Amino acid sequence: MAGKSEVLLILDDWNTDAFKLGGGDWTYSAEPGWYGGTSPYPAFAMGANGDTGNYGTLSISFTGTAIAFWGNTPPAANSQSVSVKIDNGGSSDSSFNDPSPQSYRQWYKTPTLSEGSHTVSLSRIAGASMDFAIITAGRNTPLNGMKIIVDDTDSSISYDSKWSQNNDQFQPGRIPHGTPFGGSTHLTKSSGASATFKFTGTSVAVYGIFSWANLGTMAASFSIDGSSSSQTYAVNSDSPEHVKEPGQQQNFQLFSADSLSSEDHTLVITVT
């Protein structure tokens, strides 16, 4: 669990029990940079010179105190706002607030709501994609079966002096640039750099931003409660991601481990 009071839960777009997409048949993009491998968007709402007038809709029911949506904002030619309805309230417009559309970012978040069950309905969607949603859990929000997302600046993660915080946007190459989750990442170029994450749960995964532009090999060890495994990440001249259009890949899974005992654990990451 996160080391501070706010607990954030991540829901991927493939969770069709949670997300209801409408207005037409949404197109699923399968770029490697999407969390979980896909991100849907209403291509039918996008014309050659702007909106077609046939818009996409999205709704989700959740338990918590807020929800936010991450993905691409629309191209500049398309509508730069959506209509939002929360529970039984009225509809209101919400701007994507993107200074340089199209980009990957958090494009909508509800205000803080009373703890409990809520339904958020978005309409007039043209060109925006939805990669995942982040639910802010309340004190009594059920966590069983949910995935908790922990940002790189969370107090449950400690870094040695070889790391620095990086606030740069990522540049993927052929798809829109974007903002990392939480607005930053931690970066190191030093062998031996280490980071420690203390958590409670039965699985863990580590994600970051990976560059396919530079040829070479990077390696790291991941130790859970003293049991270590090594991972190697190679970029070769014939690597498909390098050949297509080299850039940085967001949501790159560096490591994962499942079937852990349900108790406290310590993960130590060391660049080798």
In sequence order, the β-bridge partners of residue 229 are: 222
Peptide bond into 102 cis (omega under 30): yes
CA 106 distance to own-chain centroid: 9
Q: Is the pLDDT of residue 2 over 90?
A: no
- For residue 1, name the pLDDT band (cuts at 50, 70, 90): very low
Give domain limits for the chain. Answer: 8-149, 157-271
Q: Do domains 8-149 and 157-271 have the same CATH topology?
A: yes
DSSP structural state of residue 61: E
In sequence order, the β-bridge partners of residue 219 are: 232
Cα distance from N-terminal residue to C-terminal residue, the chain: 27
- CATH class of the structural domain 157-271: mainly beta
What is residue 173's predicted lDDT score, i.e. its pLDDT? 84
What is residue 3's predicted lDDT score, i.e. its pLDDT? 40
The CATH number of the structural domain formed by 8-149 is 2.60.120.260
What is residue 5's predicted lDDT score, i.e. its pLDDT? 61
Tens of pLDDT along 110-169? 999 999 999 999 999 999 999 999 999 999 999 999 999 999 999 999 999 999 999 999
Mean pLDDT of 243-253: 91
Helix, strand or coil, per DSSP, at residue 260 = coil
Q: Is the pLDDT of residue 66 over 80?
A: yes
Tens of pLDDT along 168-209? 999 998 789 999 999 999 999 999 999 999 999 999 999 999
Q: Is the pLDDT of residue 272 over 90?
A: yes
What is residue 246's predicted lDDT score, i.e. its pLDDT? 78
d(CA 63, CA 141): 6
Tens of pLDDT along 43-62? 999 999 999 999 999 999 99
Helix, strand or coil, per DSSP, at residue 108 = strand
d(CA 118, CA 84): 13
Task: Write the CB contacts of 95 (distance below 8 Å, at least 6 apart in sequence).
Answer: 80, 81
Q: In what order do the strands lie in the sheet with 132-136?
A: 104-109, 66-72, 132-136, 8-12, 147-149
Burial, 96: exposed, middle or buried (Cβ in 10 Å; 0-12, 13-18, 19+)?
buried
Q: Is the pLDDT of residue 230 over 60?
A: yes
What is residue 244's predicted lDDT score, i.e. its pLDDT? 85
Q: Nearest Cα to 222, choosing from 181, 266, 252?
A: 266
Q: What is the mean pLDDT of the chain?
A: 95
Q: Is the pLDDT of residue 106 over 80?
A: yes
